[in-house]
Structure 1
Amino acid sequence: MTDLEFISNTKKLIDDLKSVCANYGLGNDGNEFKIISQTFLYKYMNDKFSYEAKKINETLAEANDFQKSYESLSDEERKFLIARIGNKAPKLQPEHLISYLFNNSTKANFAETYFDGTLRNISLDNSNLYSIKTASGVKDKMFDDLSQFITDSSQRDAFARALVNKLVNFSFEKMFQEKYDFFATIFEYLIKDYNSDSGGKYAEYYTPHAVARIMAAILVKDAVTNVKVYDPSAGSGTLLMNIAHAIGEKNCSIYSEDISQKSSNMLRLNLILNNLSHSIPNIIKGNTISEPSYLKEKFDYIVSNPPFKLDFSDFRNDLDKDSFKERFFAGIPNVPKAKKDSMSIYLLFIQHIMHSLSTTGKAAIVVPTGFITAQSGIEKNIREALINRGWLRGVVSMPSNIFASTGTNVSVIFIDKEADNEHIVLVDSSKLGKTIKEGKNQRTVLTREEEERIINAMNQKLPEEDFSVVISAEQIKEKNYSFSAGQYFEVKIEYVEITAEEFQNKMTSFENNLTAMFAESAELEKKIQENLKKLRYE
């Protein structure tokens, strides 16, 4: 099976699930997202279990009917099989499989007893592996009672049956065999209809994969093991997935916080699909700024695309207490008299990240480009601290519209506690990329070659005319702590050697051209005056 077939089949499954929701009055309903994402997760977990079980048990691998073969195993054999699978897949009993539900789909009370009951039992049996904690320590449930979103109880059995019928049409197992990383494409397709408001209340827009790849490639230059990776505003986890792939899934533990329940649930799905299930217990749904769950933790790598503008007036005054002063050393944004939702909360995230780095920690943070040149205020205080502490490794200013959901120009700040103060790299990639139409918005897309150009400039410390500069901390201080590459590009005048005769010829040519133009101008003036004299009032 080819990559295109993988993508096509998976998109078809999502479209089929959307169609079922629409047929039962849930199209564009607030619960449609939960139904599709959770049903998709159940399908994936079911196929992942079958795939791992077949690798261990030869009888299951050769069976024409996996369901019957699995049911025929003794209790001891099933326990041994599940123990061998470990954390590679969920713990599923025969009655948890899609084929079991399909075989019993005509039974009375199918929705409540079989469909919702199965998802409920899977949640309970796998809570240690897949549950997300809130800041207070309470664990969520992995699946809702999906059929209960149908208000007409007489339609629930038919609705659950229709969902199951869509799940038996194909298997993800060949994707596992090919080790195909299909999730990046599928994820955007899965959530595109639920993210049309440019981020909504919690700025849940998703970092472009080009930006995430660039950040990961610059942060992770050498092989590392047993490191902690953190995102204090994780969203769906695009940044975390990319840096985890760069490090190696087995070589790192993922930690995240996000105030949005939707983002936390999508991050769980993202971790499962990217072989990072071992980090699910580290996902926290909570307020990173006012109630950070990992305040005492220090991290080796931090990546973040924090919300730029968000109303935090409800807890702003609490941040002025002494207990917060060390973390928010550069200051806390004031509450504006109007447009509270324009509060620059990202400045708090930057300071939180600086506070959370280990002694050799590294970070990459997406910021509005205005941050890198602001002449005063909290922005400048943070930039001064990065230079004076010797933590700035470099900055990449991205092209306009690199995010389709926001017109804000962005840059990426790279922090490294072991940075080289004499060779700070500033890159201006604003002229790169191609503009494409994406729905009602325009987005700039970078080619892989352009991505590599940016990465090489940073990692190899390569100066390039009108693209990148390599400067010292002292030079940055002289420019009032500006992090903009353009302010360090020299104005270059090209000089060409010419003879005295060539010079005289050029001057004669200039004089002749000017004389001709002056003569033409005088003739035009004369004609204008003549025409004005001919004008009469009638």
Structure 2
Amino acid sequence: MSEDQQQLHQTLWNIANDLRGNMDADDFRDYILGFIFYKYLSRKMALQANKALAPDGLTYDQIIGHPMEKEYMGAIKLDALDALGYFLKPTELFSELAKRGNSGGVNKFILEDLQKVLTNIEQSTMGSESEDDFGNLFEDLDLTSSKLGKTEEAKNELIVKVLTHLEGINFDLENRESDLLGDAYEYLIGQFASGAGKKAGEFYTPQQVSKILAQIVTTGKNRLKSVYDPTCGSGSLLLRVAKEVKEVGGFYGQESNPTTYNLCRMNMIMHDVHYKRFDIYNEDTLVNPSPKHSDQRFEAIVANPPFSAKWNPDAIISDERFSPYGKMAPKSKADFAFVQHMVHQLDDNGTMACVLPHGVLFRGAAEGHIRKYLIEDKNQLDAVIGLPANIFYGTSIPTCILVLKKHRASTTLSDRILFIDASNAFEKVKTQNVLLPEHIDKIIVTYRSYVNGALSEAEVDKYSYVATLEEVRENDYNLNIPRYVDTFEEEEPVDLQAVSDQLKDLEKDMDTTNTTIAEFCKELGIDTPF
């Protein structure tokens, strides 16, 4: 991370802490991230408009009152809707409202106008190709909420402070090689997640885990046609995959929480993913999968589903995603339902990697049946990776990564499964366990050695093992990692003769000490204590 990035991250976090006062961190997150997004949209709009007006020697703010204002505005709107997916007038830009809020007098009250602007951004997309991508994006920015202040003046004052602080930050959007703002946005999402307890699991996967999943599914590839996350949260996993390859054709995801769904769409746009290149759907993936995604197959799938979530399979028992298995994941634990859904959506040449609780490796009944089907009938399980406990926000349970491929039978590894025990490779930072770069690298190097057929390099003493399918059968398809990776550390043999000699020496020392004590007692005229 560059010094500029670090400085920007710290500045934004300081602003968030200074301005939220007594407001709950989750609530303030929606405001600060929403306003950063509004600033981003405004700056992109100004840059796009200035580019269109450059041949006429004009800038966007100069067309207000121009004799051809109406014509210019119409042409710029069409251009913006195609290039950006939305439209903002010069008077609706972030900088203009921030300036008004600091102007003093009647004009400093901007709450109503700000609400209108946020609504206009969404309405500007109505009837256009980007309508679904921008619809209700700002619904969590309630400018009438008492959380902002007891009076309208107090609310306005807080909002003006936030806008003023953000207006003073240069996000360097003109630099196409820079992603300062996108990274800063991602940083803030992570910071809010770390302090959000159980809620964090709903919208954020720690970057250390994201890197592992992303590097696994991009192994051997420079470009991806598509990447999909059925429980995409804020979209951090999808975006992480893009950092591992030169190009991703399309980003696809589904998220059931409306607030988190909005965060994901904002995150995509803030990382300069064009609205035509992502499709995020707001519904329960298991019960109501996106109709747009159902017939698609994805080259890479990554996911961090909610651990052991409750679900209701009764209404979809005949669904083609689950029916071939003959069993449904239990109502109290949807873990394998997510796996079944992802395998169904995986392309023939694709790889999927998902984080799950350790219980999926050994629990019996329906889960044991599904596990056997994936291994024996379909031969789709490629690797099992055990992670340390306490690396996810809001839960301390140990987790694992399952790696699956659609058609392993045609590969040289068709009768092998890699097991990695990385559960003890971490560094403790305060109350959280953290995977350092060297821990991540070791996992990836081991996995890629296995994929490349270098099995001798893939097997690391006390760390990894390449098991045969026959060994897995003998273990009744129980994937508990200690059954395959021997991490037992033998104690050094005890030299009994040396111990005996030490005891003899101690006996002599005690006799000498006792003699000395007896002489002192005799001189003092008292009885010896032994």
Map of 1:376 onto structure 2: 364
TM-fit CA distance, 1:411: 0.9
- Which among 368, 385, 388 is matched to residue 373 of structure 2? 385
Could you say if the C-alpha distance between residues 152 and 460 of structure 1 is closer, same or farther in structure 2, counting changes exceeding 3 Å? same
Map of 2:243 onto structure 1: 245
Report if the CA contact (8 A) 1:271-1:280 is conserved: no
TM-fit CA distance, 1:43: 0.9
Map of 1:467 onto structure 2: 463
* Residues 294-334 of structure 1: per-residue CA shift (max 9 Å, x gap): 4443322211111113343xx35434467775176432314
Could you say if the C-alpha distance between residues 359 and 510 of structure 1 is closer, same or farther in structure 2, counting changes exceeding 3 Å? closer
Are positions 1:350 and 2:349 aligned together? no
Give the SS at the match of 1:148.
coil
Report if the CA contact (8 A) 1:21-1:27 is conserved: yes
TM-fit CA distance, 1:483: 3.1
The separation in 2 between residues aligned to 1:309 and 1:262, in whole angstroms, is: 22
Task: Name the aligned partner's letter for residue 380 of structure 1.
Answer: G
Matches within 5 A, 1:194-205: 196-200=195-199, 203-204=201-202
Report if the CA contact (8 A) 2:462-2:485 is conserved: yes
Task: Name the aligned partner's letter for residue 445 of structure 1.
Answer: L
Report if the CA contact (8 A) 2:336-2:360 is conserved: no
Map of 2:169 onto structure 1: 170
Map of 2:306 onto structure 1: 307
The separation in 1 between residues aligned to 2:502 and 2:29, in whole angstroms, is: 73
Report if the CA contact (8 A) 2:329-2:367 is conserved: no
Give the SS at the match of 2:414.
coil
Map of 2:263 onto structure 1: 266
TM-fit CA distance, 1:179: 1.4
Could you say if the C-alpha distance between residues 331 and 58 of structure 1 is closer, same or farther in structure 2, counting changes exceeding 3 Å? same
Report if the CA contact (8 A) 1:397-1:430 is conserved: yes
Moved more, 262-271 or 510-519: 510-519
How many positions carry a matched residue from both structures?
A: 490
Map of 1:535 onto structure 2: none
Could you say if the C-alpha distance between residues 512 and 78 of structure 1 is closer, same or farther in structure 2, counting changes exceeding 3 Å? closer
Give the SS at the match of 1:481.
coil
Task: Name the aligned partner's letter for residue 418 of structure 1.
Answer: H
- Which among 432, 447, 467 is matched to residue 442 of structure 1? 432
Give the SS at the match of 2:233.
coil
Matches within 5 A, 1:203-218: 203-204=201-202, 206-218=204-216
TM-fit CA distance, 1:442: 2.0
- TM-score normalised by structure 2 residue count: 0.78
**Structure 2: gaps of 5 or more residues:** 451-457, 511-530
Could you say if the C-alpha distance between residues 20 and 518 of structure 1 is closer, same or farther in structure 2, counting changes exceeding 3 Å? closer
Give the SS at the match of 1:142.
coil
Report if the CA contact (8 A) 1:132-1:285 is conserved: no
Are positions 1:290 and 2:287 aligned together? yes
Task: Name the aligned partner's letter for residue 167 of structure 1.
Answer: L
Map of 1:276 onto structure 2: 273
The separation in 2 between residues aligned to 1:6 and 1:514, in whole angstroms, is: 63
* Residues 184-213 of structure 1: per-residue CA shift (max 9 Å, x gap): 45434346446645323x941521212111
Are positions 1:87 and 2:83 aligned together? yes
Task: Name the aligned partner's letter for residue 123 of structure 2.
Answer: L
Could you say if the C-alpha distance between residues 139 and 281 of structure 1 is closer, same or farther in structure 2, counting changes exceeding 3 Å? farther
Map of 1:67 onto structure 2: 61
Give the SS at the match of 1:147.
coil
Moved more, 303-312 or 29-38: 29-38
Map of 2:229 onto structure 1: 231
The separation in 2 between residues aligned to 1:413 and 1:175, in whole angstroms, is: 41
Could you say if the C-alpha distance between residues 318 and 11 of structure 1 is closer, same or farther in structure 2, counting changes exceeding 3 Å? same
The separation in 2 between residues aligned to 1:160 and 1:187, in whole angstroms, is: 22
Map of 1:500 onto structure 2: none
The separation in 2 between residues aligned to 1:240 and 1:469, in whole angstroms, is: 29
- RMSD over aligned Cα atoms: 4.0
The separation in 2 between residues aligned to 1:273 and 1:316, in whole angstroms, is: 36
Report if the CA contact (8 A) 2:227-2:250 is conserved: yes
The separation in 2 between residues aligned to 1:311 and 1:7, in whole angstroms, is: 40
TM-fit CA distance, 1:92: 2.4
- Which among 477, 480, 492 is matched to residue 481 of structure 1? 477
* Residues 61-93 of structure 1: per-residue CA shift (max 9 Å, x gap): x98x86347875844445555555643574322
Report if the CA contact (8 A) 1:258-1:284 is conserved: yes
Are positions 1:255 and 2:244 aligned together? no
* Residues 42-62 of structure 1: per-residue CA shift (max 9 Å, x gap): 0111223334455565479x9
Map of 2:455 onto structure 1: none
TM-fit CA distance, 1:130: 5.8
TM-fit CA distance, 1:101: 2.2
Task: Name the aligned partner's letter for residue 487 of structure 1.
Answer: R
Task: Name the aligned partner's letter for residue 268 of structure 1.
Answer: R
Could you say if the C-alpha distance between residues 325 and 206 of structure 1 is closer, same or farther in structure 2, counting changes exceeding 3 Å? closer
The separation in 1 between residues aligned to 2:85 and 2:281, in whole angstroms, is: 22
The separation in 1 between residues aligned to 2:152 and 2:488, in whole angstroms, is: 76
* Residues 357-402 of structure 1: per-residue CA shift (max 9 Å, x gap): 2333321110112322x15223322321222212122121112222
Could you say if the C-alpha distance between residues 412 and 17 of structure 1 is closer, same or farther in structure 2, counting changes exceeding 3 Å? closer
Task: Name the aligned partner's letter for residue 242 of structure 2.
Answer: A
Task: Name the aligned partner's letter for residue 405 of structure 1.
Answer: G
TM-fit CA distance, 1:121: 1.0
Task: Name the aligned partner's letter for residue 286 of structure 1.
Answer: E
Moved more, 262-271 or 42-51: 42-51
Task: Name the aligned partner's letter for residue 278 of structure 1.
Answer: Y
Are positions 1:454 and 2:443 aligned together? yes
The separation in 2 between residues aligned to 1:31 and 1:492, in whole angstroms, is: 47
- Which among 394, 399, 405 is matched to residue 416 of structure 1? 405
